[in-house]
Structures are given as structure tokens and as C-alpha cells.
Chain A
């Protein structure tokens, strides 16, 4: 045996090391998911409108006879983009042109780490949270970091030395900052109702279907839902890249892998906002009508006959031995992972909404967009906070 049991024990006794390894594993998984989301979404976004418009959409790329409904088209596109020549337009600010996509992707990856993908689980006697960045300011961290994404867009548009890029980036940044105010306001009633900024605590507070954010604060959800589209510059608010006027908006001059990076950022942000919407308003990792404790008991009671086969092989003929998952100590881990799947199903619904809305609604005009944000959402958001505060106060304060 190359492994020394005492060494393993000593390692497991060191909480810092265990948490560090756990963080690394969690981040690797989240990162892998974030990388996988854009190709799949791009595929959905090509196939779904094709279905809606009675076209075929991409269905050719594949290995030999295996076509996978054109799923590999996205992979081919990614490879193609990376293999393209890198062109920096004349007169562009070279440094800023290079770093703008990086500026965009950093906040996207940071907020991906603040979402509680599942409940905390117990392993080796440690409490391991399933969100990577587990800060107690939850919401504020997400809002603060996500607004940094505007820098990437603004710098990209400015550095390109192209008037379409500049216009697109100006529109995008003005729109994003305008809708950030209602976005922030729509989450305040949630903080009031659940009494915490910690996202995981908010999910725990939504243990029942009647406690879901969409039931307790429906107006908040409506505001948040509209802001989701505006923040990601998606149709019907995609004025920043309205093809007819601005070519492609702020990333007109971008090609090759940098374009891939910009695209990746866009879809990662969409995915995270979908996760956030399901976390805050749709119970996150909670399964409706199945409390997490019940789920854990259910899983903990499952017996898995692991050892007998091994023992039979050795020929010991030991009595039938089966351990329940609870005895093995992994039931809380498995329950949390089921929660992750549930959250992804809910987030997937919102991702589908993005596509659905894009191919259903026509584009807004820019003044309509701005007046919707400033003259409708902002007052409604304020009134929503005020009314929620009064109701919560009447219900809770004596």
C-alpha cells in the first residue's frame, strides 16, 4: 500500500486543507459547466428558431453517421474561431482592445462562484458549502461584481476605433446601468421577507412551494425577469447589437478567440442570472413538497451492498453485508447533488425563456427601453419595497 492511512487522517484533520481542496474541486466543476453552457445554448439558439420557423437548422456536423442533431456545430465553431487570424483594426487602442474581453470574463466567472448550487453537505465531519465564494453578503457581492462586467463592454467598444462599436457599447452600458437599479431594487423585498443576504439561507427559507419568492413577492420577480433580459442585452432589449443599425454592436471588430471569449461571457452571464432567478424566486435547489431533511433521510435509508461482492471474490464468504448511505456518510452529499440537478432544471427553464422570448417579441426602441427602465420599473420597484416592508412589519412586529 502506497497510501499511509495516518497521513490521510492527518490530512483530513486539517480543515484548511480540506476546504481548499473542496474549493478547488467545486470551482473545477463550475468552470467546466460554464464552459459547456455557451456551446449548448448556441446550439439551442439555432435549433429552436429553426423549429419555430419550420427550418431544419444546423444538423450536419458530426462523426460519420453520428450527427447528434447538429450538436457538434458549436464545437466546430469554437475550433474555427480559435484557429482564425487575430486582427487588430488600425487606430485601435491595442492594449485595451486586447484586455477588454478579459475584463468581461472575470466578473462573469466570479459571480458564477457565488451561487449556492446546492445545500451545504457534511463530509468527513466538515460542513462544506456548495457555493464556492461563500460570503455572507451574498446579494451585494453578486450585484457589485456583476456591474463590473460593464467595463469590458465599454472598453471593447471604445478601443475598437469603430463608430458602430462605440455606439453599441454606449447603448449597452447605458442600458445595463439603467436596469441595474431596478434589478437591485427587485431583490430588496426578498431580503426583507427572508431576513438575510445569504443566498443559501434564502433558499432554505423557501422550503415550501408557498414560500417561494415568486409567491411571496411576485412584483419583484416581474421586475427581475425584465431586468434579466436588459442586463444581458438580449432581445427584446438587444439594442446594443441591433444588426440592422450597428452591424454587431460593441464586438464588431472582434474576431478569433477573443470573439469566442466575449460570446462565452455573454452566455455565462445569462446562465448565472437564470440560476439567480431560480435561486431567489423558484426555491433554488429545493424540490417542491420534498423538504431537504426528508430527502436526506430517504437517501440515507438506501442500502447499497458494496462489500459482499468484494468479499465473495476474495472467497471469505462473509455474511451479507450492506451499508446504508447514511452509514457510509455520503447521504448529505448525494442529497445536495440532487439539489444541484434540480437547480439546473429550473435554470434551464429560464435559459429556454431567453431563446423563446428572443424569437417571439420584436425589438424595443431605445427611448422606449430607457423610459421603461427609469419611468416604470424604478417607481414600481420603490413602491414594491415600501409596500413589502409595511406588510412584513405588520406581520412580524408586534
Chain B
């Protein structure tokens, strides 16, 4: 059996389960059509809503960008780790060079203050 066939089965089942669970209240729960204008208002502790969801800190974008860089690096390290025994010392030297370049980038990022949250 193809080892990825169970992935497909579980995926299909998970989607069905999610849809059923998500829609359960829609069919079982009460549906009252109240005319109150505040009923479906976004939650704001009971007072009129202040502000909108518009601005977000640029730091979140920066974190996302840095994440992509370092996560890809982690994946590369996985490739090396799987073939670690076959590559031997050659692989270690290669990875050392790779890590040195990466750490240089990391030091730059830290020095520029990209990881500061104030």
C-alpha cells in the first residue's frame, strides 16, 4: 500500500469531520431572528465599538520574513542530517560553511535591531 494513501484518507475524513462539527450548531442550535442591532456586533465589552481593525505593527511582517529565511535553513539542515552518516566529515565541513554564512546573516539581523520589540 502506498504510504501516502492513509494521508489522503485521513485528510478527507478530517475535512468531513470539521465541516460536520462546524455546521452542527447551524442545524441543531436555535435560530432566532432578533431585531436588536447590537446582537451581531463585534465584541467590545458592551460599549460602542472604538476603532477598527486596520493597523498592525510592521514587526509582525519582519518576523514572518525572518521566519521564512531560518525555516528554510532548518529544512536544509534536515537534508544534511538524514545523509549525515554517508557524507561523513565532508558534510560537516560543508554544513559549517553554510552555518557560518547563516550566522553572519543572523548577527546582522540582530545588530540592525530587527528582533527588537519595544
Contact = CB atoms under 8 A, between A and B. Distances in A.
A366 B117 contact: yes
Interface size class of B (residues with CB under 8 A): 35 or more
Nearest to A374: B115
B73 to A, nearest CB: 8
Interface in B15-49: 15, 17-19, 21-26, 28-32, 39-43, 45
B9 A27 contact: yes
Contact of B106 (A16, A92, A378): A378
Interface string A203-237: 00000000000000000000000000000000000
Interface in B63-116: 63-64, 66-67, 70-71, 74-75, 77-78, 81-82, 84-85, 88-89, 92, 95-96, 99, 102-103, 106, 110, 115-116
Interface of A: 15-16, 19-20, 23-24, 27, 31, 81-92, 98-99, 101-103, 105-106, 109-110, 113, 132-136, 139-140, 160-167, 170, 173-174, 177-178, 180-181, 184-185, 188, 191-192, 195-197, 247, 252-253, 255-258, 260-261, 264, 366-367, 370-371, 374-375, 378-379, 382, 385-386, 389-390, 392-393, 396-397
A154 to B, nearest CB: 10
A166 B7 CA distance: 32
Contacts of A85: 25, 29-32
Closest 6 CB pairs of A and B: A102-B18, A256-B25, A367-B117, A184-B74, A257-B24, A162-B42
Interface string B3-14: 111110111011
B10 A178 contact: no
Contact of B92 (A27, A177, A390): A390
Looking at chain B's contact residues, is the secondary structure mostly helix, strand, loop, or mixed? Answer: helix
A389 B89 contact: no
6 contacts: A102-B22, A174-B59, A174-B63, A195-B84, A195-B85, A256-B29
B21 to A, nearest CB: 5
B74 A181 contact: yes
B42 A89 contact: yes
Contacts of A261: 18, 21-22
Given A82-B29, A132-B10, A375-B115, 18 more contacts: A19-B1, A105-B21, A132-B6, A133-B7, A163-B42, A165-B53, A178-B63, A184-B75, A196-B82, A253-B43, A257-B22, A261-B18, A366-B117, A374-B66, A378-B70, A379-B106, A389-B84, A389-B95
